[in-house]
Chains A and B, each alone.
Chain A
Amino acid sequence: MNVSHGPEPVKGYRSQADAFDAEILQCIERRTVPDFNDLALRIFAHQLRYNEPYARYCASFGVGIDALPNDWEAIPPVPTQAYKEAALCTFDPAKAALAFETSGTTRGVGGKHYMESAALYDAALLAGFHDAMLSGASARLRYLLLVPNPEERPQSSLGYMMRKAAQAYGDGEERWYLRADVLDVDAFVSDARRAAQERVPVCIAGTAFAFVNLLDELHAREIASLPLPAGSRIMETGGFKGRTRIVGRAELYEELSRIFQLPQERIVAEYGMTELASQYYDATFDAARIKRSPPWLRPRVVGPDGKTLPAGIVGALVHVDLANRSSCVAIQTEDLGLAVPEGGIILLGREPGAQLRGCSLDAEQLRAIART
């Protein structure tokens, strides 16, 4: 097998990579992938040539350049944790245009997702964000951001994404409120009130945990209502990893809707991860909040044998993201979900582990002890 990546790319790599990027960019711009299967398999073959750790992993399943699958669903997904074990990219990671740190979950051991082309990443995130978040937006939004500021945390893919979105679609006055993991609630309240006075619709983006934190702080300040201008919206992302206070999503959205006097359909959950260039968003008009992907990103729900499960059966989520051209096209996550017959997935979140029963053994507790 011809496998290599490093400072001296194999001859032909550059032209092949550029051609792929152009093709994928075109799919993103047109919001359509003429032949997903074909493109996914070609990108996969490209990665088998140039992404050595991924190629070795696939070889252990009997998959290689000489034994390519003929279906995108048969592309071996790399477990997300593998990003903590190796530089999974088709190029010299020292030359990465973007490098985002993967979350270390609660153990704090992180990896990196290296991307060769910022243009591809930007196009994928902006297209997805635009289509999911900005429908019906008549004016440019002001972005009030409860996510890491890229100035402070340049390795955060979420911060990068929101800066890009704010730059592309904002009114030029975006604000960041998370500093050293502390939320500047007073500044947020002041800015939200000013936007209301100026009648500038806003987009508030944050993790679920940040929103819970914000609600707690508003409650502590006896602020029962902070009405946002018409056309405002909220993007909620992420979960409660490693956090102690967990609130049900329905409860959280109800409270956000009440305080900001925002219809619940204007609260959109984004589902993404550092290991992916593209994101899923809620189809907000579905009561079940089905997550939809852009055409260049497809989910699979798999059983323990890695085979795709029928719709409605709970399994592990695998994502095939064509915009991951320079890393791994297929990713196996730690999340559970189920496919919906009409398309899309319902995300059930991370499985905390079987409730272990031992005679005195509380595995979650033991895990927690081990983490500390």
Chain B
Amino acid sequence: MTALADVPVRNVLAAIADAAVRWSDADFPPRVRVTGRIAERTGYSVPVVEYALDRIFFSITQQELGATIRSELGSLAILDGFASRPDRPDAWAAPAGSVCVISSRTTIGVAIVPAVFALCAKNDVLVKDREDSLVYAFFETLAQELDEFAHAARASTWSPNDERAPDLRTFDAVAAFGADETLAAIRGMLSPAARFIGYGSRASAGYVTRESLGSREQATEIARGAARDLVLYETEGCLSLHTLFAERGGAVSLEEFGGILAACVEQANVEFPIAQRGAGAAARIARQRNLAAFRAAGGRGAVFASDAAEYAVLVEPPSSEPPQFLPRTIGIVGVDGPRDALAYLREHALRLEGFALSEKRADLMRAAVDAGAVRLARFGELQHPPLSGDHGGWPRIAEFVRWIDRTL
């Protein structure tokens, strides 16, 4: 029996949504305390942290949670006990049991959404929290909303060889974020029957068609969104824009588009101030800028960047080079069609999470799918996956339940 086993699912959802409403208030004292700690841990500016927290907590509503559950499981009632299903046996989506969510080296609050859905499925949940204790603080609010959460939702920090580290063999399901090696190591520690939901290393790309570069106005609209996708979370997220394909032959040239994008990045830098950077990251951006300037001086490509290398937009870097993976730095890779983009992604073995598209064209969407993307979005929305979306290609709640059929 899990701690939430006897709590009607509607009460669970209501309590989670109420806690999220409290956390949506920027003046909510626990959020105020955590905001500073997150800024300290990540180096991100406070406006970026505030933005991230707003995105998380405004999205957690009873309606969104309910809609996602109904879509994946058929009904809410099926989480409370046996329920009938059209053309299938009656079934109960019982809790998987105990769930562990491990987030390491992630941006902000990445563990919260899977933890919330695992709780909606009435599991006992343990989250490996970050030093900023965001999840711990949110779980405290949950417990204030509903007593059972005090036992159902726990968050803690530990390191791999820590005495406090839980025995992962005891969990029925584990969701983990991290590098592939980390995920493989975690997977190896689980019980053979345990479910494993791994969110491995992925990058995101964008694609701008020549039709979308038909005028400066159109190009600016796209660039505004791309700039936001680029600068948020310092280009460090799996849904950050890491490379941008643009078709040659539009009315707006790639170089002109690069200039427009750079102007939009400068605007976005005002809304989302730059994080604290080490000398190394700054030096690497400056080097990329200078190398691109060298190429541009030789008639190959162009570069737009600030003197202090706060950002860099590289136009037509050699396609033999992989994306830069540097804060607020992006290459506009010129292509003649989606096939070129696919070839680039394959050459550099880039596994895609998101693909931003400037228009809903069938061949583009097909290319995105072929590239392995699990999220297609408009520019400017790449980093805003809906709560009800299938993050990382996984369903939100389905992996956290144990189906029990009843045919008697």
Q: Which residues of B contact A358 (CB under 8 A)?
A: 105-107, 233, 236-238, 240
Contact with A along B183-224 (1 / 0, CB 8 A): 000000000000000011111000000000000000000000
**What separation, in Å, do the CA atoms of A86 and B296 have in the docked complex?**
12
Query: Is the Cβ of A79 less than 8 Å from the Cβ of B325?
Result: no
Of the candidate stretches A174-182, A200-208, A284-292, A359-367, the one touching chain B is: A359-367
Q: For B310, list chain A residues within 8 Å (CB).
A: 304
Residues in B neighbouring A369, C-beta threshold 8 A: 201, 348-350
**Complex: how many Å from CA A60 to CA B392?**
43
In the complex with contacts A315-B279, A366-B350, A367-B325, A361-B297 CB distance below 8 A:
no
A33 interface hit (Cβ, 8 Å): no
What distance in Å separates the Cβ of A267 from its nearest Cβ neighbour in chain B?
27
Query: Would you call A359 and B107 a contact (CB within 8 A)?
Result: yes
- Is A155 interfacial (CB 8 A cutoff)? no
How many A-B Cβ pairs are below 8 Å? 154
Most buried by B among A109, A334, A352, A359: A359
Q: Which of B202, B278, B279, B348 contacts A360 (CB 8 A)?
A: B202
Which of A81, A352, A365, A371 makes the CB contact (< 8 A) with B287? A81
CA distance A82 to B239 in the complex (A): 31
Bound-complex Cα distance A316 to B201 (A): 29
Q: Is the Cβ of B179 less than 8 Å from the Cβ of A362?
A: yes
Give residues in B with beta carbon < 8 Å to A: 42, 105-107, 110, 177-181, 199-203, 233, 236-240, 277-287, 290-291, 293-298, 307-310, 320, 322-323, 325-327, 348-350, 353, 392
Query: Do A366 and B280 touch (CB < 8 A)?
Result: no
A148 at the interface (CB under 8 A from B): no
Q: Identify the closest chain A residue to B283 (Cβ).
A: A316
Q: Does A56 contact B (CB under 8 A)?
A: yes
Q: Mark A71-89, 1 if CB is under 8 A from B, else 0.
A: 0000000110110011000
Q: How far is the CB of A212 from chain B (nearest CB, A)?
A: 22
Query: Given known contacts A56-B298, A356-B325, is B177 in contact with A304 (CB within 8 Å)?
Result: no
Whether the Cβ atoms of B283 and A351 lie closer than 8 Å is: yes
Given contacts A56-B297, A353-B281, A360-B177, 15 further A-B contacts (CB under 8 A): A53-B298, A57-B293, A81-B287, A304-B308, A306-B307, A336-B280, A351-B278, A351-B279, A354-B327, A356-B325, A358-B106, A361-B201, A365-B179, A369-B348, A370-B323
CB of A119 to closest CB in B, whole Å: 29
Q: Tell me whether A86 and B298 are in contact (CB under 8 A).
A: yes
Q: Nearest chain-A residue to B305 (Cβ)?
A: A304
Please name all residues of chain A whose beta carbon is closer than 8 Å to the beta carbon of B280 when the two chains form the complex. Answer: 336, 351-354
- C-alpha gap A355/B178 in the complex (Å): 13
A365 CB → nearest B CB, Å: 5
A332 B287 Cβ-Cβ under 8 A: yes
Contact B105 A79 (CB under 8 A): no
| A372 at the binding interface (Cβ < 8 Å) | yes
Give the complex CA separation of A315 and B237 in angstroms. Answer: 26
**Secondary structure of the A contact surface, majority rule:** loop
Asked if A359 contacts B199 (CB within 8 A), the reply is: yes
- Contact assessment for A367 and B322 in the assembled complex, using a CB-CB cutoff below 8 Å: yes
- In chain A, what residue has the closest Cβ to B179? A362
11 contacts between A and B (CB under 8 A): A57-B294, A109-B320, A303-B279, A304-B308, A351-B281, A353-B326, A357-B236, A360-B178, A363-B325, A367-B322, A369-B201
Could you list which residues of chain A lie within 8 angstroms of chain B, going by C-beta atoms? 53, 56-57, 59-61, 78-79, 81-82, 85-86, 109, 303-306, 313-316, 332, 334, 336, 351-363, 365-367, 369-372
- Taking CB atoms, residues of chain A closer than 8 Å to B291 are 79, 81-82, 85
Q: Which of A351, A352, A370 contacts B348 (CB 8 A)?
A: A370
Question: What is the distance, in angstroms, from B251's C-beta to the closest C-beta of chain A?
Answer: 27
**What residues of chain A lie closer than 8 Å to B286, measured between beta carbons?**
303-306, 316
From B284, B293, B326, B349, A60 is in contact (CB under 8 Å) with B293
Contacts of B240 in A (CB 8 A): 358, 361
Q: Measured between alpha carbons, how far is A56 from B290 in the docked complex, in Å?
A: 13
Q: Is the CB of B290 within 8 A of A79?
A: yes
Distance, CA A303 to CA B180, complexed state (A): 34
CB distance from A65 to the nearest CB of B (A): 15
CA distance A315 to B279 in the complex (A): 6
Asked if B287 and A354 sit within 8 Å, CB to CB, the answer is no
Give the complex CA separation of A366 and B180 in angstroms.
10
Q: How far is the CA of A332 from the CA of B286 in the complex (A)?
A: 10
B203 touches A366 (CB 8 A): yes
State which of B279, B298, B392 has its C-beta within 8 Å of the C-beta of A85: B298
* Pairwise interchain contact A360-B287, C-beta atoms closer than 8 A: no
Q: Among B105, B107, B284, B290, point to the contact of A353 (Cβ < 8 A).
A: B284
